[in-house]
Homo-oligomer: A and B are copies of this chain.
Amino acid sequence: MQDIRHLRIVLIGAGNLATNLGMALTAIGCNIVQVYSRTKASAQTLADRIKDSDTDRICDFTDEISNIRTDADVYIVSIKDSALAELSDEITAINPEALWVHTAGSMPMDIFSTLRRGVFYPMQTFSKSELVTFKDIPVFIEASNEEDSALLHSIANAMSKKVYELDSSQRKHLHLAAVFCCNFVNHCCTMSADVLSNIGVPFDVMLPLIDRTAEKLHTMSPVEAQTGPAVRYDSNVMEAQMGLLSTRPDLQQIYRAMSDSIHRYALKHDAD
């Protein structure tokens, strides 16, 4: 197992994922020598947080691609997918011999054309303001050769108990599943808050229900946990609820599509 503390790492990106990953890498002893962000203040903020966590540490920052260090061992690129697609050739030219790793669930490893390339995808929703512990976060890795795969395993194992190898084509499905479980789940709560605002009830009355909905999934499958009028297609309730949304065709459309889908899955589950 390689000593990951001797690696010089450049972190490209300073957003939610980059910030959480940068701090987690620092916590396991990795040496992040520089942070790049196209927004200078973001690059500086993250570099400062990394330095603050260990006063002996040196961590540079830049907002210019031409100033990214050329002597690192590993470049971890954690920027939004569209920027990754756009910049991958330009940035890898900085040091084509190094290991280039991105953190995007939906992007293939081969977005990098370097010989040594990989993916390090911690599947979680992050925010800069609340750092999360990586211990229980599943990390999905992929690398273009065995040695780099072992290296990414060493890093991932040092921060998480749940490390999986998954190739790019499988990871696409994983990322899509995460969109349903996180982005769409959150959006259901956005729509709920919107409905609640009509009666002046604060959204936090919903929190015990949301917590319990999540908690139930630790002991039963989602299709088993499903409740509500759509399961048995209680059309009285459903029509009344559609009526409450009569001024909101956007929410009506989603209500109808979700209810129909819940009912189809319930029928299929009963038949199985």
Mark A residues whose CB is within 8 Å of B: 16, 80-82, 85, 106, 123-125, 127, 130, 132, 136-138, 162, 164, 166, 170, 172-196, 198-199, 201, 203-214, 216-223, 225-230, 232, 234, 236-237, 240-241, 244-245, 250-251, 253-255, 257-258, 261-262, 264-265
Pick the most buried of A178, A189, A240: most chain B CB atoms within 10 A of its CB: A189
A266 to chain B, nearest CB (A): 9
**Contact status B213-A186, CB under 8 Å:** yes
Q: What are 29 A-to-B residue pairs whose CB atoms are below 8 Å? A: A80-B232, A81-B229, A81-B236, A123-B209, A127-B216, A170-B199, A173-B196, A173-B198, A174-B201, A175-B241, A177-B192, A177-B196, A178-B206, A180-B191, A181-B188, A181-B189, A181-B206, A181-B213, A183-B226, A183-B228, A184-B188, A184-B191, A185-B188, A185-B210, A187-B258, A187-B265, A210-B214, A211-B214, A214-B214
Bound together, the chains give a CA A180 to CA B186 distance in angstroms of 10
**Contact status B195-A176, CB under 8 Å:** yes
Known: A186-B222, A187-B258. 5 other contacts (CB 8 A): A125-B213, A130-B219, A173-B198, A177-B193, A177-B201
Bound together, the chains give a CA A127 to CA B203 distance in angstroms of 24
Which residues of the other chain, B, contact A166 by a CB distance below 8 angstroms? 199, 201
**Contact status A186-B227, CB under 8 Å:** yes
Bound together, the chains give a CA A73 to CA B230 distance in angstroms of 34
**Contact status A199-B228, CB under 8 Å:** no
Which residues of the other chain, B, contact A213 by a CB distance below 8 angstroms? 125, 181-182, 185-186, 214
A272 to chain B, nearest CB (A): 13
**Contact status B162-A106, CB under 8 Å:** no
Which residues of the other chain, B, contact A195 by a CB distance below 8 angstroms? 173, 176-177, 180
